[in-house]
Amino acid sequence: MKQHIIKIGLITTLFSFNIANAGLDFNTIKSKSNYKFFGFSQIGVGFGDGITKKSDYKFQADRIRLGWKYFSGSISAKIFLDFTKDGSNENGIGVPELVKDAFVSYKFNNVLVLKAGVFKTPVGMGFTTPGWNLDVIKRGFDKKLAFERDFGMMISGRDIGFGNNAKITGLETGHERPMKGFGYDLMFAGQAGRSGAVINAKTGNGEAYMGRLMFDWGEIFHIETSYGISKDAGGTNGAKNVNKNIIVTSNIEDYKVFNIGIDSYFDRASLKAEYYNVQNIRGVSGWDMKTLALTGTYFITDTLEFAIKDISGTETKSSVDNDARNTYIGFNYYINPKNNKMDRMSRRSKNSNRIQLNYVYSDVDKGFKGVGALFKDNAVLLQYQFKF
């Protein structure tokens, strides 16, 4: 035991000596780095015939998350955990569901930021909106059409042209801040196993490619379009050994996603529109879907906001079309907000304590399957959010 203590002491002394000779000290190093600890929880209850099979209500936690952000010069990093998720299921990406984000980035400049690790993929405008900043309680049944998070590498740029005045930290995965100019993301990753449209993914057995182009003009206008492919969305080559003799290769198609979204803010109001066109869900040829989500919000008072979101979709499977519609109508009440301003960034800071109440109207064809959070019956949702 004493030998180990002596060795540790010697290593520490040598390390300190080398740092001193380099003209640095620990206080200097610390001053160039900073950390941020953050988190939020969303606790709620749902009522209605479609909530559970055995009861008319269900208590639920949509998210219980803690995270850390790290900044040191051009380097930034993020770890984000969700304690409502499985700590053993890796979804084929090599990291448990419990881990939402775990990545490091290097910012060369606003035009070029390199990221590596697990983070949100650049497909789907609504999906890259933080969960604590949603207008209604649920993302909707189109969320699972996105690629979700994946393990890979991405190069990004933001605020390109028109002055370059926005704050870019290197952690951006969506359109977090209003800016003027263009932005882009290009990502290479493994199979998108966390997507509801990709199954049987295995680490190292497939790839995903995706990209996004966006343009912003301050608060008033944001538009983005993205496209992605996850190879062999029914499993690697779709191959299954049945009775050791027969090889089934029916689910070998690549899952393909096209998305376009528009987001605008006008003082007390906001408007959003988002369209998905996807092909070969779960690797099944001809299992396609198109969805359109329209969202509007308006602050009736400085603390009470009205919100409405309508999501409609047409699913095609085996050449048969089925339709679905979920319409959320609700109110967001902000308790003790930090400010009464109505610009986009100030609205985000209001979300430390928020109560949301939604009524969900459902109109779904019996044959509509879907892959996401679809309400097949009307429901009432109530949720409290705490964020720090």
- Delineate the domains of the chain, giving CATH numbers in brackets: 34-387 (2.40.160.10)
Higher pLDDT, 24 or 359: 359
Give residue-wise pLDDT tens across range 127-184: 999 999 999 999 999 999 999 999 999 999 999 999 878 899 999 999 988 899 999 9
Q: Which residue has the tokens 């690549």?
A: 254
Q: How far is CA 65 from CA 90, 134, 148, 348, 353, in A?
A: 18, 15, 17, 17, 15
**What is the C-alpha to C-alpha distance for residues 132 and 385, in angstroms, rounded to an integer?**
8
* pLDDT-above-70 percentage for the chain: 87
Q: How far is CA 77 from CA 103, 155, 258, 329, 381, in A?
A: 6, 15, 29, 37, 35
Give residue-wise pLDDT tens across range 172-183: 999 988 899 999
Q: How far is CA 265 from CA 37, 128, 154, 231, 262, in A?
A: 29, 17, 29, 37, 11
Higher pLDDT, 25 or 143: 143
Return the half-sphere exposure (C-beta side, CA atoms, 13 A cut-off) of residue 373. Answer: 12
Contact criterion met (CB below 8 Å) for 123 and 113: no
Single pTM value for the model: 0.87
Residue 245, pLDDT score? 47
Q: How far is CA 388 from CA 129, 132, 346, in A?
A: 17, 11, 15
Mean pLDDT value across the chain: 88
Give residue-wise pLDDT tens across range 277-306: 999 999 999 999 999 999 999 999 999 999
Q: CA 179, 189, 97, 55 torsion: positive or negative?
A: positive
Q: CA 358, 359, 365, 366 torsion: positive or negative?
A: positive
The amino acid occupying position 251 is N
